[in-house]
Chain A
Amino acid sequence: MSGRVLVGVKRVIDYAVKIRVKPDNSGIVTDGVKHSMNPFCEIAIEEAVKLKEKKLIKEVVAVSCGPQQSQETIRTALAMGADRGIHVEVTGKDYEALGPLQVSKIMAALAKKEDAQLIILGKQAIDDDCNQTGQMTAALLDWPQGTFASEVALEGDKVKVVREIDGGLETIKINTPAVVTADLRLNTPRYATLPNIMKAKKKKIANMKPADLGVDLTSRLEVLRVDEPPQRQAGVKVETVEDLVGKLKEAGTI
C-alpha cells in the first residue's frame, strides 16, 4: 500500500459571512468577501493528519481545484500538517461551472496518478450543499465508499467507518483503496499555528491544469437564477379566538 492519502479542500465563502445575492440574480456576491476552507474539508484534513501522526499512513496530499486563490486554501492545509499540495487550476467560466462531477473526475484522475490508498473529502461544501463529490469519485474509480463518517479506523487493508445516518450509527468495513467523506463529529480540526504556517511556506504545491489529467470540464448544468429566501413577514396579533379562526380560514389552512 502506498500509504498516500488524497484530501480535497475547497475554497468557499467563510461561514460567518452574510451572503448577498447579486442584483441581477445571476449568483451571489463573491468579490471582496472573506473566503476560507470549507469546514468539512478542515475536518477531512485533520483526520488525514491524525492518521499520519499515528503512523498509519505515510503522506497527506491536499488538492484544490480553482483559481489562483485556491493556493491559500492549500497553504492552510499544509499548515495543518499536510505534506504537499496539488493545485488544479480552473478559472473564469470553467470555474463558475465547476461542480461535483468535474471535481470527482479530477480527483479520480489524481488518485490513479498518485497511487492513493485513501481519499478523504468533506461530506459537502457549505456553498452548494451538494454532498455528491465523494460518492461520484468512488463510482468513477469503482472504489468502496464510507460517507458521513464520524469515526474512521484503518485495519490492515480495510477501513472501518462509523457512519451517521438518520436512524443512528452504522458501522461498515470496506476494502482499500476507498473514499471516505467526513461528517461534523469526526474530529475537531486544529488551528494553524504561526510556526506551522511558516513551515508550510516551504512545502511544495504542484500546479496543473485539468487538461493535463485528461479531464473534460463540460458542465451539464446551467444556473438560471439565484434568489434570496423570502423575507419574514411580521406577525399579526388577534384579540379573540374567533378572530384567530377567521384568519386561519382566510389563509386556507383550516
Chain B
Amino acid sequence: MLLGLTHRRCLLKCRSVKSQTTRSAVVDSALSAFRSICGEDGVSLAAAVREQHGKDESVHRCFSPEHALLSRCRPPDVVVFPRCVEEVSAIAKVCHKHDFPIIPFGTGTGLEGGVGAVQGGVCFSLRNMDQVLDLHQEDFDVTVEPGVTRKALNAYLRDTGLWFPVDPGADASLCGMAATSASGTNAVRYGTMRENVLNLEVVLADGTIVHTAGKGRRPRKTSAGYNLTNLFVGSEGTLGIITKTTLRLYGIPESMVSAICSFPSVQAAVDSTVQILQSGVPIARIEFLDDVMIDACNRFSSLSYPVTPTLFLEFHGSERSLEEQVNTAEDITQSNGGSDFQWARDPETRNKLWKARHDAWYAAQALRPGCKAYSTDVCVPLSQLPQIIVETKEDLIENRLTGPIAGHVGDGNFHCLMVVDPDDPEELHRVHLFTERLARRALAMDGTCTGEHGVGLGKRALLCEELGHTSIQVMQGLKDALDPKNLMNPEKVLQLRRV
C-alpha cells in the first residue's frame, strides 16, 4: 500500500510538471497506433470536435483553488471513435502504456462536468457502437451498446409492448446513464439505474474486458459474488469504460392518467405525497413545482395556474385500476387543502396538463433572457423535504438569486434551476456558494449531496463530507485496485490526494 502511494505521488508530480507541448508531443506519437485501430476516420484532432467532447450540459468551470481562477475546462487532446469493444480495449492499452487519461463520452448530456478533460488525454466517443443486441421479450431484458440512447431503445421496443422507463429528461446514452446512476421522474415507481442494470461489459484502464455479472448472464436476481455491476453503476467513468449494459424492461402501461393539484403550502404538498405513497397507490410520477416555478411556467406557456406550490401526478395501469388510483389521490389531496384538482386521460389533454412541467427548464431560463440555467440536485428523506425547501427559498431571497424549484418529490429529490449570467463571475460565485450551502443543508438532514446528477467535478469535497473519511478511503482503495495509474476520468468523483 505504501509503495503504491509513493508511485502515485511520483506520477502526480510528473503530470503536473509536464507542459502543454510535451503532453501533445507524446499524444502525437500514439496517434498512428490509434489510427491503425480505429481507422483514419476514427481519430480526430479537430478543435471543434475536441471542444464538443470536452463539455456537457453543465456550466462547469475548472475551479483551481491555488489560483482562485475560473477557467473553462480543457478539451481532450484527441477524440477517438471506436467501433467495437475490441477497439476500445486496444486503444485503452495504448493509453495505459503512455499514461494518457481516458475519458469515456456518451451523449454529453451530463450535468456535473463529468466529461471535462481536466488533465487532457484521450476522449473515447462511443457513439459508433450503437446496436441494440439480445432482446429477450419474455425475460424482460435487453443488452445495448453505448451509442444507444433511451429514446432510441424505446422506439426500437415499441412493437414489443415493452419499454425502459428510467427517464432523466435528456435523450441520454443508456451506458452513460448507467455510469452516472441516472434517475428521473419515473423513479418513484420504476427505480433508478441501480435497480435496473443486470450486467455490464466494462473495459478497464489497462484494456482488460470485464463482464460484471458474467458474460451474457441476465437472471432477474442473483446472490453470486460481489455486486460488481453496481460498483460500476454510478462510477462516472472513473473505474472503467462501459461498453454494454443489460437492462431490465417493463411492460408499457395500458393507460395513463395525468393530474395536477395546487396546495396552500409546501408542507401540504409533501404531506399529500407521503400519504399517497402510504396508501399503496403505485404512482408513476409525482413532481413538485414551487410558486416561483409555476409563475415562470405561467408566463412562458401562457397558462394560468394558481401561483402556489403545485403537484403534477401521473398514474399508470389498467382502466379500472386508474380510476381507483385517481380517486384515492384526489381524496388525499383534498384532505390536505389541495384545490383545482384536474385530471386527463387522452394524450392531448395530458400533454397540455403536463406542459408546464415539461417546459420548466425553458420557463426558468426565460425568466432572465441571456442567462443559462444550472440545475442543483439534492435528496433528503421525505419527512425533511418541507423544511429544506423552505430554508432554501429563504436562502435564495436573501442572496438575490433566481432559483425556481422543481422536484421528484416522491423520492425526496429536488432541483433548484439556478438562472445565472454565465459571464458574471461574481454571480457565478454566489451560485457556487449557494449550492454548497444547499448540499450541506441536505447532508445535515441525513440526505445526499446529489440525488441523480452525480459528483463529477464540483461535488468531490461534498462527497467526502457525506461519506466520511473511512468510506472515502474504501472507495479510494477500490479505485487504486482497478485503476492504479489514475487514468480513468481523473479528478472526478474522488479528489486527487494532495502530493
Q: Shortest CB–CB separation between residue A72 and chain B, in angstroms?
A: 8
Contact with A along B147-183 (1 / 0, CB 8 A): 0000010011011111100000000000000000000
Q: Contact between A196 and B161 (Cβ–Cβ < 8 Å)? A: yes
B423 within 8 A of A: no
**Least CB separation from B250: chain A residue:** A194
Find B162's partner among A188, A194, A195, A196 (CB 8 Å cutoff).
Answer: A194
Quick one: which of A16, A37, A194 has the most chain B CB within 10 A?
A: A194
A193 within 8 A of B: yes
Known contacts A193-B253, A193-B254, A194-B251; decide if A37 and B159 are in contact (CB<8 Å).
yes
A213 within 8 A of B: no
Contact with A along B262-300 (1 / 0, CB 8 A): 000000000000000000000000000000000000000
Q: Contact between A193 and B251 (Cβ–Cβ < 8 Å)? A: yes
Q: Contact between B347 and A192 (Cβ–Cβ < 8 Å)? A: no
B428 within 8 A of A: no
Residues from chain A with a CB closer than 8 A to the CB of B253 are: 193
B382 within 8 A of A: no
Quick one: which of A16, A76, A191 has the most chain B CB within 10 A?
A: A191
Q: Contact between A193 and B159 (Cβ–Cβ < 8 Å)? A: no
Residues from chain B with a CB closer than 8 A to the CB of A195 are: 251, 254, 318
Q: Shortest CB–CB separation between residue A246 and chain B, in angstroms?
A: 26
Contact with B along A163-199 (1 / 0, CB 8 A): 0000000000000000000000000100111111100
B303 within 8 A of A: no
B252 within 8 A of A: yes
Q: Contact between B158 and A188 (Cβ–Cβ < 8 Å)? A: no
Find A194's partner among B152, B158, B252 (CB 8 Å cutoff).
Answer: B252
Quick one: which of A16, A76, A193, A195 has the most chain B CB within 10 A?
A: A193
Residues from chain A with a CB closer than 8 A to the CB of B160 are: 192, 197
Q: How far is the CA of A79 from the CA of B254 in the complex (A)?
A: 12
Residues from chain B with a CB closer than 8 A to the CB of A197 are: 160-161
Q: Contact between A191 and B152 (Cβ–Cβ < 8 Å)? A: no
Contact with B along A194-208 (1 / 0, CB 8 A): 111100000000000
Q: Shortest CB–CB separation between residue A51 and chain B, in angstroms?
A: 15
Q: Contact between A16 and B156 (Cβ–Cβ < 8 Å)? A: yes
Residues from chain B with a CB closer than 8 A to the CB of A150 are: none
A117 within 8 A of B: no
Q: How far is the CA of A79 from the CA of B158 in the complex (A)?
A: 12
Q: Shortest CB–CB separation between residue B211 and chain A, in angstroms?
A: 25
Q: Shortest CB–CB separation between residue A156 and chain B, in angstroms?
A: 25
Find B252's partner among A14, A34, A37, A193 (CB 8 Å cutoff).
Answer: A193
Q: Contact between A188 and B347 (Cβ–Cβ < 8 Å)? A: yes
Residues from chain A with a CB closer than 8 A to the CB of B152 are: 16
Chain A's interface size range is 10 to 19
Q: Shortest CB–CB separation between residue B48 and chain A, in angstroms?
A: 13
Residues facing B in A24-40 (CB within 8 A) are: 34, 36-37
Q: Contact between A192 and B156 (Cβ–Cβ < 8 Å)? A: no
Q: How far is the CA of A191 from the CA of B163 in the complex (A)?
A: 10
Residues from chain B with a CB closer than 8 A to the CB of A191 are: 158, 161, 163, 252
Residues from chain A with a CB closer than 8 A to the CB of B156 are: 14, 16, 34
Residues from chain B with a CB closer than 8 A to the CB of A193 are: 161, 251-254
Q: How far is the CA of A55 from the CA of B222 in the complex (A)?
A: 50
Q: Contact between A192 and B161 (Cβ–Cβ < 8 Å)? A: yes
**Least CB separation from B347: chain A residue:** A188
Residues from chain B with a CB closer than 8 A to the CB of A16 are: 152, 155-156
Q: Contact between B159 and A192 (Cβ–Cβ < 8 Å)? A: yes
Q: Shortest CB–CB separation between residue B257 and chain A, in angstroms?
A: 15
Q: Shortest CB–CB separation between residue A50 and chain B, in angstroms?
A: 11
Residues from chain A with a CB closer than 8 A to the CB of B163 are: 191
Q: How far is the CA of A205 from the CA of B308 in the complex (A)?
A: 55
Q: Shortest CB–CB separation between residue A85 and chain B, in angstroms?
A: 15
Quick one: which of B161, B253, B347 has the most chain A CB within 10 A?
A: B161
Residues from chain B with a CB closer than 8 A to the CB of A36 are: 158-159
**Least CB separation from B162: chain A residue:** A194
Residues from chain A with a CB closer than 8 A to the CB of B347 are: 188
Q: Shortest CB–CB separation between residue A167 and chain B, in angstroms?
A: 26
Q: Shortest CB–CB separation between residue B5 and chain A, in angstroms?
A: 49
Q: Shortest CB–CB separation between residue B68 and chain A, in angstroms?
A: 40
Q: Shortest CB–CB separation between residue A84 and chain B, in angstroms?
A: 19
Residues from chain A with a CB closer than 8 A to the CB of B159 are: 36-37, 76, 79, 192
Residues facing A in B342-372 (CB within 8 A) are: 347
Q: Shortest CB–CB separation between residue A17 and chain B, in angstroms?
A: 10
Quick one: which of B158, B254, B318 has the most chain A CB within 10 A?
A: B158
Contact with A along B237-252 (1 / 0, CB 8 A): 0000000000000011
**Least CB separation from A197: chain B residue:** B161
Q: Shortest CB–CB separation between residue B127 and chain A, in angstroms?
A: 13
Residues from chain A with a CB closer than 8 A to the CB of B254 are: 193, 195-196
Q: How far is the CA of A136 from the CA of B201 in the complex (A)?
A: 52
Contact with B along A34-68 (1 / 0, CB 8 A): 10110000000000000000000000000000000
Q: How far is the CA of A188 from the CA of B351 in the complex (A)?
A: 12
Residues from chain A with a CB closer than 8 A to the CB of B155 are: 16
Q: Shortest CB–CB separation between residue B165 and chain A, in angstroms?
A: 13
Residues from chain B with a CB closer than 8 A to the CB of A34 are: 156
**Least CB separation from A189: chain B residue:** B158
Q: How far is the CA of A196 from the CA of B319 in the complex (A)?
A: 13
Q: How far is the CA of A36 from the CA of B347 in the complex (A)?
A: 23
Q: How far is the CA of A192 from the CA of B252 in the complex (A)?
A: 8
Q: How far is the CA of A193 from the CA of B161 in the complex (A)?
A: 4
Residues from chain B with a CB closer than 8 A to the CB of A79 are: 159, 161
**Least CB separation from B255: chain A residue:** A193
Residues from chain A with a CB closer than 8 A to the CB of B251 are: 193-195
Residues from chain B with a CB closer than 8 A to the CB of A196 are: 161, 254
Q: How far is the CA of A194 from the CA of B251 in the complex (A)?
A: 6
Contact with B along A54-94 (1 / 0, CB 8 A): 00000000000000000000001001000000000000000
A-B contact pairs, 26 of them (CB 8 A): A14-B156, A16-B152, A16-B155, A16-B156, A34-B156, A36-B158, A37-B159, A76-B159, A79-B161, A188-B347, A191-B158, A191-B163, A192-B160, A192-B161, A192-B252, A193-B251, A193-B254, A194-B161, A194-B251, A194-B252, A195-B251, A195-B318, A196-B161, A196-B254, A197-B160, A197-B161
The 5 A-B pairs with the shortest beta carbon distances in the complex, nearest first, are A194-B161, A194-B251, A197-B161, A193-B252, A191-B252
Q: A193-B161, A195-B318, A196-B161 are in contact. List 11 more A-B contacts (CB 8 A).
A: A37-B159, A191-B252, A192-B159, A192-B161, A192-B252, A193-B251, A193-B252, A193-B253, A194-B161, A194-B162, A197-B161
**Chain B: residues with CB nearer than 8 A to chain A?**
152, 155-156, 158-163, 251-254, 318, 347
**Chain A: residues with CB nearer than 8 A to chain B?**
14, 16, 34, 36-37, 76, 79, 188, 191-197
